[in-house]
Amino acid sequence: MVQYAQQQHEGGSSGGGSSSGSSSGSGSGPTAAALVAALAAAGGSVLSYVPDSSLLVAALPEAAEAVQRDTGAAMVALGPEHRLAPECAPLMAMTAAAASAAAGDSGRTDPTLQQRRRRLQSAAVTGHTHERQQGQPTHLLLQPEPEPEQCTTEPLQQVRLQPVRGGDTGGGSDSGGGNAGRRLVAAAGADGGYGLDDGSAGSNLAMARGALLRRMRVLPLSDEREVPVTLAGAAEHAARRRRMAAEEAGATAAVPPPQYELLVQLLPVAAVTADAVAAAESDWPAALAAALESATGAPVGTCVPLVSALRGRDGQAVVVTPQSEGNAGGAVSGARLRVFVCEQHLAAALAWLSGQPVVRWVSPRVALAHRNARASILTQSGSLTTAAYSDPVGDGSSSAEAARRPYWAAGLNGTGEILGSGDTGLDLDNCYLSDPRYDSGTVAGQLTPVTTLWPSSQGNGAVWGRPGDRAWRPPDHRKLVQYYLPVDCVYGDDPGQGTAGHGTHTGGTMVGALLALQAAPGYNGTVLTGAEGAAAAYGPLVLAAGSGAAPRAKLSFVDISLKAAAAGGLQGALEPPEPVDDVYLRLHWDAGARIISDSWGAVDNVYDEFSQAYDAFLWRYPDSIAFIAAGNNGSDALTPGGSVGSPATAKNPVAVGASWRLPAELGIGPRLLQVRGRNPAANPNASVSTELFRLAVYPLENPDLPKLLKIIPADAEVPLVVADPPDACTKLVNPAAETRGAVVLAVRGQCWFYQKVLNVLAAGGGAVIFVNNVPPMMDGPPYPVYPNSNYYAANLATSVISQGLGQWLLGNASAGVKMTLANVVEAAGPDTVAYFSSYGPLADGRIKPDVVAPGAYITSAGARGGIIGGVCSPAQANLSGTSMATPHAAGHTALMRQYLRTGFYPTGSPGDAAAAPFTPSGMLLKAVVIAGAKSLMGGLAMALGIPMGPPPDAYQGWGRLSLAGSLPLPGLTPAGFALQVADRGQFTASGQQAVLTGLTATGKGPISIVLTWYDYPADVNAASQLVNDLDLTVDLGGGRDGSPPQSLMGNNPEGALLPSPDRTNNVERVYLTYPPPGATLTITVRAHALPSRLLSGPDALLPQRWAVAAVGYFTGTLATELNPAYVRQGQIGTRGTTGGGGGAAGGDVVQQAAPLPPSPAPPFPTTAASAIASSTIPLAVAVQENAVPAGAPFAAAATTPQ
C-alpha cells in the first residue's frame, strides 16, 4: 500500500502535474504522478485505491526496492491480516479460544467483539444476524403481520404480570422426565443446542461461529449427483470422499461431513495466469491438507479440501492478462477460487490461504436469500386519501384513474420499458404474468441450451460461458423477453419448495397486468394466434388490486432459486450466475433491461464481492440503474454500521427501504411494545414524574413461550427493571417489590439461559429480556432448557434485544430513569417507515437506504404451485418486506424513464414544441428519484418509534419515492413546478469542473438539486468505499427582496454556519426550502479527486460520469449541451440569453488538469509452476498511515504527513 502526497491529490491533477517526484511539502513523499511513473518503470501495476491517499500496488520484490530507492517511499507487504475479511473472525476465534484454554490463558480478548477490516485506516464493520428459520428468506416477512388497530390515546393502565404457575417451572431436575407441567421444546430453531448456552468464555465464540456456519454455503455430498454442475471437479471430489468414508466405516452408506465454502480472490495481475490457477487447483489441496494436519495434529481423512476456479467458456480460469505492450491489464478483481473444507479445519485453512502471496482476499461464502394498487396511488399522486385507500380501483372512469394514478392516465404505463430481475422463479400460470398466445405449460419444454458468451471485464479477450444453463426467449410475449434458468436452479415458483411465491410477487409488483380477456366470464384459456392473439395480448387491461407499477412493461427474468440438493438441503437459497457483473447483470443488459430490481441478499452489513460487482457493472454501464432491497433487519436496533445487508451496501445502486401506505387520518397502526422512561420527581410531594422518552422495541422472542404482547394487557404498562446482578447468574438481590410481576432486563453471558430464567422466576419476575453481549444480533431467540433435555426450565416469556439498544436502556436505568414496558398501538401513515426496514448509516458513514417505498401489506400476483397451463390463475398474495418495496420503486422508475424517453420532458406535455425526448442514464434516473423524494419529516421510524427529521437520515434515506415530486405533469403538479437535468457529464482529471447556469428561483416553493455519479468500485479492504470524489456547490444570487447572495455545499444542512464538503457519499444534494424570488442559481460540479485514473486496467481508463437533476420552483433552462431541453431550444431557435454556454460533452469545463501518466507496464511473465512460488509473484504491498510499523516486512510504500 503506497501513500502519495494528498496535496496534489486534492489540488489540480491526480494524474498530471510534475513527474519529477517532488512534492508540495518537504518530506511529504512522492506525488501520485511520480509514484505511478516509478511503478510503471519498474514493471509494477496499481491494483486499487484505499482512502484517503493510498494505493495498493503489485511489483516484484526487486522492483519494490527500486521504487523505494528512487522515490523515498516506505512500503510494507500486504500481510495475512490484510487479506482476511472481518466476517472470518468467529471462524478464527474458535481455534484461538481452544488453544488458549489448553494453554491456561483465560485472559484473551474475545475477537468477535473486535471485528474490523484489517485495513490501514481501520474502521469497525460489525456484522449482524436476525431470527431466521431454516429455509426462510432474508428479505421477506413470511409471518403475516397483525392487522392494524386504532392507535392508543388514553392513559395507560399500570399493571403487574401474573406469576408463573409452579407447575410450569418443570421442577428442578435436569433429567428431562417429570411432571406434565413441563413444556417441550417445539421450535425448529433449537437445533444442536443452539440458543441454550448463554455465552460463557467459550460459548460466545461458539454462538457466533454457529450463526455464521448456518449462513455459509455448504457443498452437498450425500450424493455426488447433487453437487452443483458449475463447480468444476466437485462430482469427482464427492465420489472420492464417499469412497473414503465407506472404507473408514466399512459400509457403503457412510456420508462424509459437510464442507464449508471460502471465497479466495487472487491478485488481479498478469503473473497469475490461467495455467497458474490450474496449478493451484491441482497442487493446493495437498498442500492445504498438509497444513491442516499440522495445525490440528490429526489426518484430514474424508475432509480432504477441494479447490475449484471460476471458469470461462473454454474451461480455463479467467485471469488478467496484458492487452498490449505497456499495459498491465489490471482489473477490479482477479481470478477466484472456491475452497471447501470441513468445519474443524476452517481456522487453519483461513490462516494458510491468507498466507499465500497470490491471494488478495479470503471471505466466508454466505448463502443468499430473498428479502399493489394502493401503493401505486401513493407513489404516483404523492398522497393516499381514506377514500382512495378504501376503494383503490375506483369506478374505472378516466377521471377516477387520473385522480388515483395520474401518470398512468397520461399514458405512462411502462410501454417500451424492460426491467430485469433475479428471484425465486415465476408462476407463468398467473394471469398477471401470462400471455394468451402462449401455453405456459409448455414453456419448460421450450427452454433451450444457452450459447451466449459474455466477454470478461478483465480485458483479456476471454469469455464466460454457462454450459448447462437454459433459457426461453419468446419473440413477443407481453410480459417476458427472457426466462433464464441456470443449471443448478429449479424452474417455476412453487411455494411448496420454499420459494414463498417471492419471485411471482416481485415480478407482479413491477409489471403485473390483468387482461380484460382473462377477467371476462367464460374465458377458457384457449391459446390465441395471429391478429386475434396480438389484439388480446395488447388489449384493454383490468385494474385490480394486484396490478403492477408498470403494467405495460416487460421483464427479463433469471430464476436463481437453487435446487435444495445443490444448496445442501436448504430450500429457498438463491445463487445468481457468476461473476455477477460479467454474467448475471449482463444477462439483463443484453436483453434490453436498463432497470434492475433485486430483492435478495445477505444479512452481513459489509462491502463484499457482491457489492463490488454491482458497483463495477454500473461503472461500466452507466445507462443502467439497479434497485436492491435494503433488508428486513430494522428491529436489530442501534447495530453499529446499520443493518443494511449486501449487496445493498454498494455505492451505485439504489438501496430501498420500506414504508407504510395507510392514510394518516385513519389513526390506525400496529400493536407494539414500547419502553417509556420517566424521571422520578425531584420533589417527593409531586404527584407525577416527567416522561423522558418513548421507544419502540421488538424483542426476538422464543416461539414456544408466552409472548409479551399476550401477557401485557392491551393499553397497559408494566415495570421494566434491571437484574441485580445484571447477568442474573446468581440469586437476584433486587427488592422483591421491584421485580414482582415486572419484566426483567438481564445481560447475556457467563451462565446458561435456564439458570438466568430460574433466578428471575424466583425473584417474582413475570418475563425476561436478555441484552445481547456482542454487536451481531443473535441468530435466533434464547432457549432456556435444561442441559441434556428438551424441556424448558420455566414457562416464562423469554426474548433478546440487540446490544446497542440494550446498552442504551441499561445506561438510562443506571442514571435513575424508571422504565416501563407498554402494550400500545402506534398510528402509522404514509410517512411511516416500517419497523422491519433495515437502516443505516453504513460503517463508513454512507447514507443507506437511498429511498423508501411502500412495502407493508403489498398485494401482487400470487404463486399457486406447478406450472400446468390452461386457464390462468388470478391468484394474489399479500406480503410485506423491503422485497416488496424494491420492485415497486423499480417499476415506477420505469415510468420515469418512459417520461424522459418519450418527450414529456421538460414540461410534462409530449406535444409541446419544446419537448426533448432522450434516453436517460441510470445516474440521471437516480438523481431524479432522489431529488423528488418526499421528506418524511415528522413521520415515525417505527423501528424505534421515534419521529424523523428532515432527510437524509438512517431510516428514510432521502425520502419516499414520489413521481409527483420528480416529474412535472399538467393537472397534477402545481404551476411553476419544473424539472431540469444535465446528463452524462464526464471528467478525466482532478480539478475539472462544470458550471451550469440558466435557472432563477421564483420563491413559490422549494428547490432540490442533486448530483449523482457512479463511482469506481472500492477495494474490499478499504475503511471507506468512496473512490472518486465530486463536489456540488450551488451559488444563490441575491433576490428581488434584497436577500444577500449565498453559497451552499452538497449534503450540508440548509443555513450551515461552517459547511464542509462531503467526502463519503456519491450522492450530493442541495435543498433550498424557500429561495428568494429572482435569485439566480449557479450549479458547479467539480472533480475534487479521481484516484481511479491512477489505477491499471480497462475499467480505470473510463472517465468519471455524472448527472444533475434540479426539481422545484424555478424558471429557465440549464444552459449546457448536457441538457436535452437546451439542445432542443437550439434546434427550434428559442434558446434565450440566460448565460452559461454549452461547453463540451463533458460539461462547461473551466479548468483542465494536466494529462494522465502512462499506464504501468506489466509485471514480468512467469510460468505456471513458478507463479505459485512466492519468490516470483509480484508483491502486494501496504502502508500504515504515515508510518511503517516496527518489525514490518520490507515492501514498498510512500507516506505523506497529512
DSSP letter for each residue of 9-70: HHSS-SS-S--SS--SSTT----HHHHHHHHHHTT-EEEEEETTTEEEEEE-HHHHHHHHHH
SS3 labels along 220-237: CCCCHHHCCCCCCCHHHH
- Nearest CA to 84 out of 606, 775, 613 is that of 606
Per-residue CA distances from 964 to 406, 423, 918, 1125 (Å): 9, 30, 20, 20
- Nearest CA to 110 out of 206, 205, 213 is that of 205
Q: Say how far apart CA 882 and CA 898 lie, in whole Å.
A: 24
With bands split at pLDDT 50, 70 and 90, how would you rate the model's confidence at 700?
Answer: very high
Angle made by CA atoms 1173, 1177, 1181, in degrees to the nearest 5: 130
What integer best gives the mean pLDDT of the chain? 80
pLDDT computed for residue 410 by the predictor = 92
Beta strands in 624-747 (DSSP E): 625-629, 654-659, 668-669, 671-679, 690-697, 700-701, 716-722, 743-747
Q: Find out whether 135 and 807 touch, Cβ atoms under 8 Å.
A: no
Terminal Cα-to-Cα distance of the chain (whole angstroms) = 16
Per-residue CA distances from 120 to 86, 1139, 1188 (Å): 14, 47, 10
Q: Say how far apart CA 722 and CA 815 lie, in whole Å.
A: 12
pLDDT computed for residue 90 by the predictor = 83
pTM for the predicted model, two decimal places: 0.84
pLDDT computed for residue 1157 by the predictor = 37
Per-residue CA distances from 534 to 434, 438, 505, 793, 1110 (Å): 13, 11, 25, 67, 41
Of 1144 and 381, the structure prediction assigns the larger pLDDT to 381
CA 551 to chain centre: 27
* 487: amino acid identity, one letter: V
Q: Say how far apart CA 481 and CA 560 lie, in whole Å.
A: 17
Q: How many CB atoms lie within 10 A of CB 905?
A: 29
CA 493 to chain centre: 24
Q: Find out whether 55 and 2 touch, Cβ atoms under 8 Å.
A: yes
Grid cell 522492483 in the structure block, residue: 63
Q: Say how far apart CA 902 and CA 910 lie, in whole Å.
A: 7
Q: By mean pLDDT, which of 203-212, 479-488, 572-581, 626-635 is the weakest?
A: 203-212
Residues in the chain, total: 1202
Q: Find out whether 830 and 662 touch, Cβ atoms under 8 Å.
A: yes
Residue 256 in this model has a pLDDT that exceeds 80: yes
Q: Cell numbers at residue 680, please?
A: 422520578
Q: What is the DSSP string of 714-751?
A: TTEEEEEEE-SSTT--S---S-HHHHTT-EEEEE--SS
With bands split at pLDDT 50, 70 and 90, how would you rate the model's confidence at 136?
Answer: very low
Beta strands in 565-624 (DSSP E): 573-574, 595-598, 600-601
Q: What is the largest CA-CA distance in the chain?
A: 94
What totals of helices (H) and strands (E) does the chain contain, helices first?
Answer: 25, 50
Q: Find out whether 1106 and 1146 touch, Cβ atoms under 8 Å.
A: no
Grid cell 417509556 in the structure block, residue: 676
Q: How many CB atoms lie within 10 A of CB 298?
A: 11
Does the domain at 149-190+671-825 match CATH 3.50.30.30? Answer given as: yes
Grid cell 392473439 in the structure block, residue: 533
Q: Which fold has domain 974-1151?
A: Jelly Rolls (2.60.120)
Q: At what angle do helices 882-901 and 922-931 cross, to 10 degrees?
A: 110
Q: How large a percentage of the chain has pLDDT more than 90?
A: 50
Q: Cell numbers at residue 4, please?
A: 502519495
pLDDT computed for residue 778 by the predictor = 82
Angle made by CA atoms 634, 636, 641, in degrees to the nearest 5: 85
- State whether residue 778 is helix, strand or coil: coil
Q: By mean pLDDT, which of 370-379, 858-867, 877-886 is the weakest?
A: 370-379
Q: How many CB atoms lie within 10 A of CB 304?
A: 22
Report cis status (omega within 30 of 0) of the bond before 841.
yes
* 675: amino acid identity, one letter: V
Of 669 and 576, the structure prediction assigns the larger pLDDT to 576
Residues 520-539 have a mean pLDDT of 88
Q: At what angle do helices 882-901 and 373-381 cross, to 10 degrees?
A: 50
The tally of CA atoms less than 13 A away on the side-chain side of residue 240 is 11
pLDDT computed for residue 15 by the predictor = 37
Of 985 and 317, the structure prediction assigns the larger pLDDT to 985
- State whether residue 496 is helix, strand or coil: helix
Q: What is the pLDDT of residues 1105-1136, one digit of tens each?
A: 999 999 999 999 999 999 999 999 999 999 87
- For domain 371-664+833-863+880-901, the CATH class is alpha beta
Q: Say how far apart CA 1082 and CA 1069 lie, in whole Å.
A: 14
φ, ψ for residue 524 (rounded to 5)? -110, 5
Q: Cell numbers at residue 16, please?
A: 498530471
- Nearest CA to 501 out of 142, 838, 857, 836 is that of 142
Q: What is the pLDDT of residues 745-786, one digit of tens each?
A: 999 988 999 999 999 999 999 999 999 988 778 878 899 999
Domain ranges of the chain: 2-83+1159-1195, 149-190+671-825, 218-365, 371-664+833-863+880-901, 974-1151
Q: Cell numbers at residue 1160, please?
A: 504501468
Residue 13 in this model has a pLDDT that exceeds 90: no
Residues 863-887 have a mean pLDDT of 91
With bands split at pLDDT 50, 70 and 90, how would you rate the model's confidence at 51?
Answer: confident
pLDDT computed for residue 316 by the predictor = 55
Per-residue CA distances from 720 to 799, 812, 1036 (Å): 14, 12, 53
What amino acid positions are annotated as catalytic residues?
Answer: 423, 502, 883
